[in-house]
Chains A and B, each alone.
Chain A
Amino acid sequence: MEYLFRAEHISKSYTGHKALSDVSIEVPKGRIFGLLGPNGAGKTTLIRIINQIIAPDEGELFYGNEQLKAHHVHNIGYLPEERGLYKKMKLGEQAIYLARLKGVPEHQSKKLLKEWFEKFDLLPWWNKKVEELSKGMAQKVQFIITILHKPALLIFDEPFSGFDPINVNLIKQEILKLRDEGTTIIFSTHNMGSVEELCDHIALINKSEKILDGNVRQIKKDFSTNIFQLELGQMKGPAEQMFDHRFELIKATPHNGLNTVRVKILREADSNELISQVLPYAQVVSFSELTPSMNDIFIKTVTGKFPQESSQDEVSASANDYLAE
């Protein structure tokens, strides 16, 4: 796989505490890379290092095959988590200024900005001061400024905070479109559920250390619990009698004339065999694997076990939501 960006053995400490300790990430070209972890884990520090805002104490950074240099800032677009604009400055003027700092010439930036403003319904506000704008509009402007110079690498730090659901969707579609056009994206968030649908690769950071990384599908497979959920119609007898030693019934609950059954496949069996086991006894309405959410995987990685039964229902709920999409 071709990597657009690599960080190797990055460490950074501030007097008194360690912000990053020996963190390495590899960002595949043309993919969305999720940088996940709770608040204060070190994500923002790592992002600032990638943006060359601060320097690491140890470690090396590579853009493509070159060592990361000052001029690479033109290839990177960064939307910080804490973001603002000059309140007293006119919107259009300000956008041109920020684009010029990114190296886009004035006449060109004006043309590009007008197009994007049109697309995001911001054109009427071109000559308004930022203090007259709603927060959502300011956020849209910041997003436009970040992607305007068509960087090969985009870094979004909590991009959806402050947006209403309609605009979240708008931004999400733009991000996916950029990915399809070949842009590589680093996506940082503490809300692990929200990125599962977007990210191809992830790295989990906790307490300044990277605790997990890899392809999202692979990770999910690695953390698979082998628990399947079946919706069954008419059953010939109770659920307990349906399964032999290769399967373990976790629970069966009737509702709305159907029966929801959770079964764990123990060993030497796969999902097809589970279906053939059930077929003679009941009518199968639906069949799915209960994949753990990224949140569960995170908790499992940190604590060594999945959340308790009480939260297992939430797991299924989030898994169902995920599968429903």
Chain B
Amino acid sequence: MNKILVIIKREYLSRVKKRSFIIMTILGPILMAALMIGPAVVAMMSSSKYEVAIVDDTHMFYDQFTPTQSTTYTRLETGIDSALELMKGGKFDAVLHIPEVAFQAPASLRLFSLKSINYSAKAHMESVLKHQYESLKLTKAGIDPEVLMAIETRITINAVRIEKDGVERSDYPEVSMGLGFVSGLLIYMFIFLFGSQVQRGVLEEKTSRIVEIIVSSVKPFQLMMGKIVGVGLVGLTQFLIWVVLTFAIVGGVRSAFPEAFQFTSAEEIYVSASQSLNAEELQKQMETVQMQNTTAGQIMEGLAAINFPVVILAFLFYFLAGYLLYAALFAAIGSAVDSEADTQQFMLPVTIPLLFSIIVAQMVIQDPSGPMAYWLSIIPLTSPVIMMIRIPFGVPYLDLAISAVLLIAGFIFTTWLAGKIYRTGILMYGKKITYAELWKWIRYR
């Protein structure tokens, strides 16, 4: 037992001290953080500010324009020609001309500019105009906009799941989907990355013949387990550092540039102090704010609905048990062959269940309690990924128990199997290994 600790320590330290590990551990979170922060930064940098002059010959639309984060509006009474002169002089970026005939002929609306105006600014102006057109037409038809406001109803169905114990829970599949997919993908990546590290380590010991020296002091099984556990701890270390560093970087950037992260709400909520609002506008604004709040609230409620202790415990369990199951198989492959190139024929059957799990992940997310999701989350080879996808949706404890017991049995079996192949394989050179040969090794005493 003491010797296995010596082996684990070497496997762990020799990898953690490697330059490539340190670089990956630092670069990983920077890349992740860049992925999370990047879009906001890019959006912030690319959004140009527009000064738009409005020449409203009808005097019916101007009041509707409120400044947004990227656009400010100025009313000009001077007429279109002098407005265009001002624009050419650099006072404005664009001139929106609403001619006298605009109400009857919307096609006569014009937006003049020296350089092209971006899509969202134009879209904003169009929607303001459209709204005003509609309310003007309604008024003309004798319908009170107040009545219309009262009629307009926003519909979102709150899905409620009644659990076995009778507790009602709001169901937000979008949140569960995201969480499930991300954790399933992480497990998949972890198994692949560190499983192949185990394989490379075993192969390195075999080809350098150091294994001949070591097996006279320790049992081959101890050497194999020491490597699997040591590499697993390296993976766990890297993963934890990544999580902590990613959140630290994202958190740091957020508190340094808070304005970059007020994605959607800012544009609507932003109210210019110079702007006086009439009752109708205020109500409209309130509504949008409320709508924003409900989306954020739904996400919050969706997160709150997820049983985090179960998710975290399950993640750690499937993360480790899944790794142990596959790492043993990777170790067996590493021991059986003579070079990296020979691993291909044995890699295929090991990687297929993993690849399959990721490919069907989409279908499992669509129907997380269906028969396919159920069976794949029970079978040990696919359960680490598939069960993790299912868990945020809520999984009966019985299913979890069966899956966990089978996974434990599965990795005990693969470890036993790998141990049999390993102890013969590491001392066998220059032989073309076939499946029949492996089967013989398993049957040796």
Give A residues with C-beta under 8 Å from B: 14-15, 48, 51, 53-55, 57, 70, 73, 76, 78-89, 97-98, 100-103, 142, 145
Contact = CB atoms under 8 A, between A and B. Distances in A.
A87 B216 CA distance: 20
Contacts of B209: 80, 82-84
B10 interface: yes
Given A83-B213, A86-B204, 6 more contacts: A48-B427, A73-B216, A78-B213, A86-B205, A101-B6, A142-B213
Contacts of A102: 217
Contacts of A78: 213, 216
A56 to B, nearest CB: 9
A230 B133 CA distance: 132
27 contacts: A15-B443, A48-B427, A51-B216, A53-B215, A53-B216, A53-B220, A54-B423, A54-B427, A55-B445, A70-B219, A73-B216, A78-B213, A80-B216, A82-B209, A83-B210, A84-B209, A84-B210, A86-B14, A86-B205, A86-B210, A89-B14, A98-B214, A101-B6, A101-B7, A101-B217, A101-B218, A145-B213
Nearest to B210: A84
Contacts of A98: 213-214, 217
List the 4 shortest-distance A-B pairs measured between CB atoms, nearest first: A84-B209, A80-B212, A78-B216, A84-B208
B18 to A, nearest CB: 9
B130 interface: no
Contacts of B443: 15
Nearest to B443: A15
Contact of A73 (B14, B213, B217, B423): B217
Nearest to A157: B212
A203 to B, nearest CB: 20
Contacts of B214: 98, 101
Contact of B3 (A51, A57, A101): A101
Contacts of A97: 6, 10
Given A15-B440, A57-B445, A84 B427 contact: no
Contacts of B440: 14-15
B6 A100 contact: yes
B429 interface: yes
Interface of B: 3, 6-7, 10, 14, 204-205, 208-210, 212-220, 423, 427, 429, 440, 443-445
B6 A53 contact: no
Instruction: Name A's interface SS.
Output: loop
A84 B216 contact: no
A238 to B, nearest CB: 59
A85 to B, nearest CB: 6
Contacts of B212: 80-84
A4 B10 CA distance: 34
Nearest to A55: B445
A78 B215 CA distance: 10
Contacts of A82: 209, 212, 429
A54 B219 CA distance: 10
A78 B420 CA distance: 23
Contacts of B427: 48, 53-54
Contacts of A83: 209-210, 212-213
Contacts of B204: 86-87
A81 B212 CA distance: 8
Contacts of B219: 70
Nearest to B209: A84
A47 to B, nearest CB: 9
A34 B423 CA distance: 27
B208 A87 contact: yes
Given A15-B440, A55-B445, A101-B3, A85 B429 contact: no
Contacts of B210: 83-86
A86 B205 CA distance: 7
A28 to B, nearest CB: 22
B208 A86 contact: yes
Of the candidates A57, A76, A84, A97, the one having the most CB atoms from chain B within 10 angstroms of its own CB is A84
A57 B210 CA distance: 26
Nearest to A82: B209
A53 B3 CA distance: 16
